[in-house]
A and B are shown apart, each in its own frame.
Chain A
């Protein structure tokens, strides 16, 4: 006898609670924010204003400079991660995944440690270390005879952004390292044996065998870095405050969003303009993700191994 099943209530019971919270506090606010960007405040009312907010943020002579500056800085921030963080992560992963190396577990545990700490904490730690008041960095540079290079890097308009980006690199290098390390471990041993028998040196094996095989992971790491960077806020806020000084030289989209939404100093915040900035960030991230999925990931073939 097959029991006649009624409406499958159990499916609803399983799925509804999570779906409800996710929809209410993540999906809906996001959609609402997108919609809000087409409105403006008029007294107590919100009225539809079409693309006026976008015109304001993107082209207004007074307002748009901040956005473009933040976008440019964010681009630099991202570029530093791609060019410094991911290659270091790759190098560390390549070394860790070498066979018969002792102490791998200890190395990877310790190198990953900074990634776990709050960005706020990391920001303060480096602020102290780089502070000319304390002089730790100068002393350390002195050991290798480079104390003349030392400067108040975080305080200077020309170097503050780069310094912050490098601090972020220092903190997060563990993530690309781990992801790449895992994909290197997934390469079958016999394949590396075959390369060894074919006479390939470790360096050649790395460039011609390992690297092409982990290319999809490198793509993934890049897009994850992109999402993380264009959504970053904490580090700049902790070290430089909402004003992202000196003179907005470290302002990125996250801090710009925060200021537009909550206001700063004399200027008042605006929900609708904040929503507009958030929507623009959403579009940028979406563009990046789309480019990755349709442009990059397709070409980076994943090979069955």
Chain B
């Protein structure tokens, strides 16, 4: 069941268009994460959905109705802000009650809802405190509580974890995931952190330059990026890109020339023989162990040993500007300058055309 849909939604500030026609459908109970580099329009899109910015063109529907002209309250959304935006002069209790009182709920009803929510988030001992007396993590939980208590149709999160330290961020991430599974409320979550996106999302929407680059489950984005941008954005360390030429192709497979090697049997099609393409291969898919498929000869320029994993940076054909990143499991003591050969199987190779689009597997 569709809970929220965007139909060719555009946003202009003056003459500058910052969102160029967004189309998206979000199902009831789904956890959707908007991710992208800063300035990609993800926060603006969230604010459009919240009703904090007006929609210049297109249609936004929540439930059955068009909500373009409705206020945030009428849309039935609740939002958690990056700075938490708790009212500093009100106690935690009053912060949570503020919206309910405006809704005109009865006093005992408000009290019941707040106590229930507080129990869920372990906020009971904090109810009479002011935000200034809370730690960062506590404020974050209050902000979430303030959103939950409204019992909204859609939760909106705007980079809610970016002001927390690393350890707390992991804990809150797990907490948010747990709550969402428990409440089954449709959730839209904006972040620039791809780990948050990968771990929280049912589906990820990758945005860039005010456009949707790809929508899909975290794993499908990882394995089948639709274009070079998504391929480079998802995954850490980022995917290696190498210039290549398509030299042969038949019904099932093709062959390319890359860095002086011919690689055949790549199960991808599309493109024309002689065409310049880009080969993409993730660092964690490259291995020192020989296997059928891609083989590259390089020279070790730099080694980072983390104990459980070793990062190698290789120059190919003496090119020290564009180093190839290799993530090798285990500890490897390789000397700088050593010549190595790395391998990757056919199945993990990605090909992109000159425009950056993935060459589709037509099999």
Task: Decide if A and B touch, CB cutoff 8 A.
Answer: yes
In the complex, A299 has a CB within 8 A of chain B: no
Contact in complex: A303, B73 (CB < 8 Å): no
Known pairs A197-B52, A204-B102; A191 contacts B87 (CB<8 A): yes
Contact in complex: A212, B83 (CB < 8 Å): no
A194 to B132, CA, bound (A): 17
Residues of B contacting A188 in the complex (Cβ-Cβ under 8 angstroms): 83, 85
Interchain Cβ contacts under 8 Å between A and B, 16 examples: A188-B85, A191-B85, A194-B79, A195-B87, A197-B51, A197-B52, A197-B79, A198-B73, A199-B73, A199-B103, A209-B87, A301-B89, A303-B130, A303-B132, A304-B132, A305-B88
In the complex, A277 has a CB within 8 A of chain B: no
Residues of A contacting B47 in the complex (Cβ-Cβ under 8 angstroms): 193
A191 to B98, CA, bound (A): 13
Interface readout for A185-218 with B: 1 if CB under 8 Å, 0 if not? 0001011011111111000100011001100000
In the complex, B72 has a CB within 8 A of chain A: yes
A196 to B132, CA, bound (A): 22
Residues of A contacting B103 in the complex (Cβ-Cβ under 8 angstroms): 199
Q: What would 14 more interface pairs be, CB under 8 Å, given A197-B51, A200-B98?
A: A190-B82, A190-B85, A195-B98, A197-B73, A197-B78, A197-B79, A198-B98, A198-B102, A199-B72, A199-B103, A204-B102, A209-B87, A303-B88, A303-B132
Chain B residue nearest to A212 in the complex (CB): B89
Residues of A contacting B50 in the complex (Cβ-Cβ under 8 angstroms): 193, 197
Known pairs A190-B82, A303-B132; A197 contacts B89 (CB<8 A): no
| A142 CB, min distance to chain B CBs, angstroms | 45
Contact in complex: B99, A193 (CB < 8 Å): no
Contact in complex: B87, A196 (CB < 8 Å): no
Interface readout for B74-86 with A: 1 if CB under 8 Å, 0 if not? 0001110111011
Contact in complex: A194, B77 (CB < 8 Å): no
Residues of A contacting B87 in the complex (Cβ-Cβ under 8 angstroms): 191, 194-195, 209
**Residues 95-131 (chain B) with a chain A CB within 8 angstroms:** 98-99, 102-103, 130
Contact in complex: B89, A213 (CB < 8 Å): yes
In the complex, B220 has a CB within 8 A of chain A: no
Interface readout for A28-58 with B: 1 if CB under 8 Å, 0 if not? 0000000000000000000000000000000
Contact in complex: A304, B88 (CB < 8 Å): yes
A196 to B53, CA, bound (A): 11
Residues of B contacting A197 in the complex (Cβ-Cβ under 8 angstroms): 50-52, 72-73, 77-79, 99
In the complex, B27 has a CB within 8 A of chain A: no
> Out of B52, B83, B102, B132, which one reaches A199, CB within 8 Å?
B102
| B49 CB, min distance to chain A CBs, angstroms | 11
A212 to B91, CA, bound (A): 13
A213 to B130, CA, bound (A): 13
A193 to B79, CA, bound (A): 9
**Residues 87-101 (chain A) with a chain B CB within 8 angstroms:** none
Chain A residue nearest to B74 in the complex (CB): A199
Interface readout for B154-176 with A: 1 if CB under 8 Å, 0 if not? 00000000000000000000000
Interface residues of B (CB under 8 A from A): 47, 50-52, 71-73, 77-79, 81-83, 85-89, 98-99, 102-103, 130, 132, 150
Contact in complex: B89, A193 (CB < 8 Å): no
A216 to B255, CA, bound (A): 73
Contact in complex: A198, B99 (CB < 8 Å): yes
A61 to B256, CA, bound (A): 113
Residues of B contacting A301 in the complex (Cβ-Cβ under 8 angstroms): 89
A127 to B98, CA, bound (A): 51
A188 to B50, CA, bound (A): 18
Chain A residue nearest to B78 in the complex (CB): A197
Residues of B contacting A304 in the complex (Cβ-Cβ under 8 angstroms): 88, 132
Contact in complex: B89, A303 (CB < 8 Å): yes
Residues of B contacting A193 in the complex (Cβ-Cβ under 8 angstroms): 47, 50, 52, 79, 81, 85
Contact in complex: B102, A213 (CB < 8 Å): no
| A85 CB, min distance to chain B CBs, angstroms | 25
Residues of A contacting B77 in the complex (Cβ-Cβ under 8 angstroms): 197
> Out of B72, B83, B130, B150, which one reaches A196, CB within 8 Å?
B72
Chain B residue nearest to A201 in the complex (CB): B102
Residues of A contacting B130 in the complex (Cβ-Cβ under 8 angstroms): 303
Residues of A contacting B98 in the complex (Cβ-Cβ under 8 angstroms): 195, 198, 200, 208
Interface readout for A165-198 with B: 1 if CB under 8 Å, 0 if not? 0000000000000000000000010110111111
Closest 7 CB pairs of A and B: A199-B73, A303-B88, A198-B99, A194-B85, A190-B85, A197-B72, A212-B89
